[in-house]
Structure 1
């Protein structure tokens, strides 16, 4: 009896010990085929892809109760630290800021055993420098199911990038200029998720069509074909992503311009885009930040551009005027709640235009 009890005790102790051990993890490098990437990314080193643009992301399904991320930050100017927006199983993302050049971050823990979908998205834009995705430490990974067949590309400025939208964590006019950035909650990203579409945010704070603000040396037509818009560097391969829809939201930084000069440049930009995207629907938008005067001017500009393009044989082009100004965020940008309103209006319009 004593031996039987002792053996049972040892067996029970061993079983508890085994269960108590944390799941063994493996390292999965960035070039693993299970990872799905979204956005303009530099893959010149497949094991160290670099993300510049806001909203660029990597997605994967992992097994286990926790997961660790390895990521590097350029730490531009020695001081800038990018924000990441990390979503687990489709839930609201967690905003995490990098701490240095090398970062190992516990992005998920205390989850239920089983499979979980992870999205790691760059919350800040190219002006903040790049992040490098190194890989994940977890039990196992598999490719996430393909959920979206639709593709959208959003050309725009700070509004499209989500600048100044998150005002609850760090108040406006405090911290760094980028602390309120959130690409995840930009009207563009919200619109894409509403329409069940993959998306690229080809956007940059301060940029315009013919005039950029803040001493920026480039305009959108000069850098639209780059991976890093902030530095006009690394050519983008347009054949790698052919969107069903292109949205152009420029004009806030241009302000009121000479009508002929602005519309001529806009038509030229559309013709350039058409060469890259032969069958894509193009939609031109007024600025959601614009006051009534600028909104009316932009509406007139865009109406003229679209009418001219259609007269030249263009069939897949339209424009939309936002119904009001959205300025509750930092620097008179839209805040998160207003981005949701903008996205609701835009998604409703696009559903009709695209018959989605």
Structure 2
């Protein structure tokens, strides 16, 4: 019973982010009992409100097929000996060298200790951990999940920042075109979201047409990340709380925000009467109490709203076609 308290603190955040997708865990082992035991042991595991989704493969070849078909697998629990004595090592090499995936955490599990030197295996195959099956107790398995998934999360954040920086550099070549403004804003938005929160979904919209009678036509998406990216250049198709935005419109301040059901709504009003909305899903950080943002994070978001609004106003005033 005491083991259940090992991750009780982090489970408390699950209610704060109900829409977070689970981490994908690939179990690769030719022993069906290992799959059953692993699933049972980790059935209630959560990290910052995200549970686990288990995918099973029973051979090295099947594992490669799954990895080609499935994206965003965070961790592979990989048996060494399956159809051959080194099938697991072949999969590990294939992940790093052929699939060229450096983000997936790879943990080798072996039921035959001493079959391969641990130090040599970890160094040669870029393995993140090497465990004997007999030593993976419930507590150690949970600890392994925490360490591996936290490392994966941080590597994923670094990769997203790298991609958004590439967008910024690419867009900076033509700073005065409307298409460049959109590209530049998208890159900055993607980087901003990863800095402020663990989420990756946000939309930056013009809300010139917002009225109580024309809600469905009031949001033109100028830049977006995550599943809002498909709405860029058109009307926002996803669900937002219009009453929240209408309340922000009524405020006298040029820049204001509210966190509603863990989502961020920020509104910037220009001097010529236009308004811009920044919407971010799951804005609240894992360790933030009572849906609070730090002053630094608030300042970053206000800067983004202010500067991007100026850029889009410049594009409109000069009749640039995005």
TM-score by length of 2: 0.27
Higher strand share: 1
Q: TM-score, normalised by structure 1?
A: 0.25
Q: Hey, which of these two has a bigger chunk of helix by percent?
A: 2
